[in-house]
């Protein structure tokens, strides 16, 4: 119980929580669920690391997954290289990822690492491409420099270019990858973009993943001359300087951004990425001083793909607001956050995977389950129904209200989780307490 603190949530549009692990390149997301040294889980990670990079690099889609071991020591892993990477550099990038990730996220069962040209994820939970709750750990990065000439028109150009690039990726590329460029003005002559999904997604799911992310983060990225979303399942990026190899697949002529159709669409010809170029770190001008918690977004769809990331340590707000080489994660709106977020795997284990035998009751907004955390603390988990009328606004209000109120007749809010399309509020368990108090 000591390691869980009462959740205190500031009501802001986007709260980006400080985490040193995400502050430098390569970028990482580390879960709280852990394994022990010399465990079978670590042995299974090493077994996958011996074969997965080569399997992905030899694949026409520069992509592969692997599943090794038996529950509870089972490890599922995903490896993806950027669509313009060749086999040799893909192998180099993924080999490096398997060396770096266990050190960046020591003993973390659920871990993700992002480089400019590849992503590696492993977990004790398998993410299926046909699952509506597909996990997509995500990091947003924003350039601190804004477009000063006609910013509204710049945003229209960016939106049109991203839409056209996404359309090409899902209709003309087996790698579900596309690059694009658009004309703008003399100050910023060109805008460049790429978009990509894991090739095991259907084109429709790829489009949905990218479109939701683009719409979700558009208000945060407004006027920025460069931004990117790093996701396990889908990612995109735009810049005013070239940052990808190979030919441009989508070209938008003119600056009106009135049409989303590409002027031309040459065939996909992956080009060589050199390790030296990547080591120089064209993407290292990016950094993110925080993992992401969405407290309030314009629509409930945003929560489905923008996840509540798990925190290990915290820094003062002043440090979280620092920029790193011109890029930051926009933490300026945070007023106060003092939370302990709980991952979905912990809550599934605590409640017996939300077993019917552990259900305390059910109301209009969803069911409440009794559970026990690894330290023995008893909890009551409110699992909001996906069809519930309690959307983001109601969830935001409940978090704010319960976090602030202290009364002998009110149960304490222990934590919150918004992973895998779940909306879970975790309370202390008080026997014989009315569910209306939750």
Q: Which positions make up the binding site for ATP?
A: 382
Q: Binding site: what residues are annotated? A: 382
Report d(CA 139, CA 307) in Å as an integer: 9
Residue 308 near residue 293, CB atoms below 8 Å: yes
Report d(CA 329, CA 292) in Å as an integer: 9
Give the CA diameter of the chain: 69
Q: Quick one: which of 304, 309, 300, 305 has its CA closest to 395?
A: 300
How far, in Å, are 168, 294, 295, 337 from residue 15 at the CA level? 32, 6, 7, 9
Listing DSSP states for 332-397 in one string gives TT----B-----HHHHHHHTTTT-GGGEEEEETTEEEEEEE-TTS-EEEEEEE-TT-S--HHHHHH
Helix (H) or strand (E) run with residue 413 in it: strand 413-417
Report d(CA 83, CA 90) in Å as an integer: 10
Computed on alpha carbons and rounded to an integer, the radius of gyration of the chain in Å comes to 22
CB atoms within 10 A of CB 186: 6
Query: How many helices (H) does the chain have, and how many strands (E)?
Result: 9, 19
Q: Quick one: which of 3, 32, 17, 4 has its CA closest to 295?
A: 17
DSSP state of 409: T
Angle at 353 between CA 351 and CA 354, to 5 degrees: 60
Residues pairing with 417 in the sheet: 424
Report d(CA 223, CA 151) in Å as an integer: 6
Task: List the alpha helices (DSSP H) in 76-187.
Answer: 87-104, 151-172
Extract the tokens encoding 308.
């509540």
Q: Helix (H, G, I), strand (E, B), or coil: what is residue 301?
A: helix
How far, in Å, are 221, 225, 352 from residue 151 at the CA level? 12, 10, 51
């Amino acid at each position: 119980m000591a390691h869980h603190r009462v959740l205190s949530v500031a009501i802001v549009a986007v709260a980006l929580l400080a985490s040193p692990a995400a502050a430098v390149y390569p970028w990482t997301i580390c879960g709280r669920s852990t394994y022990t040294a010399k465990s079978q889980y670590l042995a299974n990670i090493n077994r996958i690391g011996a074969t997965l990079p080569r399997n992905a690099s030899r694949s026409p889609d520069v992509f592969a997954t692997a599943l090794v071991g038996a529950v509870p020591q089972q490890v599922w892993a995903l490896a993806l290289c950027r669509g313009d990477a060749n086999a040799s550099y893909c192998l180099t990038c993924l080999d490096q990822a398997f060396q770096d990730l266990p050190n960046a996220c020591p003993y973390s069962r659920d871990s993700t690492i992002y480089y400019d040209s590849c992503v590696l994820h492993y977990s004790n939970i398998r993410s299926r491409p046909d699952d509506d709750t597909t996990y997509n750990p995500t990091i947003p990065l924003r350039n601190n420099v804004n477009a000063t000439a006609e910013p509204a028109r710049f945003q229209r150009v960016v939106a049109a270019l991203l839409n056209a690039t996404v359309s090409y990726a899902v209709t003309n590329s087996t790698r579900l990858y596309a690059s694009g460029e658009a004309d703008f003005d003399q100050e910023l002559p060109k805008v460049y973009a790429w978009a990509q999904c894991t090739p095991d997604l259907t084109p429709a799911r790829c489009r949905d993943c990218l479109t939701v992310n683009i719409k979700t983060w558009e208000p945060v990225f407004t006027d920025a001359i460069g931004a990117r979303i790093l996701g396990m399942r889908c990612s995109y990026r735009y810049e005013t300087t070239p940052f990808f190899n190979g030919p441009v697949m989508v070209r938008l002529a003119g600056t009106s951004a009135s049409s989303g159709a590409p002027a031309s669409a040459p065939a996909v010809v992956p080009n060589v990425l050199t390790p030296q170029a990547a080591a120089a770190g064209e993407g290292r001008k990016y950094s993110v001083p925080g993992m992401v918690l969405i407290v309030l977004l314009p629509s409930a769809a945003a929560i489905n793909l923008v996840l509540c990331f798990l925190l290990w340590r915290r820094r003062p707000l002043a440090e979280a607001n620092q920029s790193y080489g011109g890029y930051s994660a926009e933490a300026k709106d945070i007023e106060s956050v003092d939370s302990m977020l709980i991952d979905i795997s912990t809550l599934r284990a605590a409640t017996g995977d939300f077993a019917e035998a552990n259900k305390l009751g059910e109301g209009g907004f969803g069911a409440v389950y009794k559970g026990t955390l690894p330290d023995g603390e008893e909890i009551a988990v409110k699992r909001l129904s996906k069809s519930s009328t309690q959307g983001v606004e109601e969830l935001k209000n409940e978090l704010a209200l319960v976090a602030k109120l202290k009364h002998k007749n009110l149960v304490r809010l222990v934590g919150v989780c918004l992973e895998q399309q779940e909306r879970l509020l975790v309370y202390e368990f008080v026997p014989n307490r009315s569910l209306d108090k939750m």
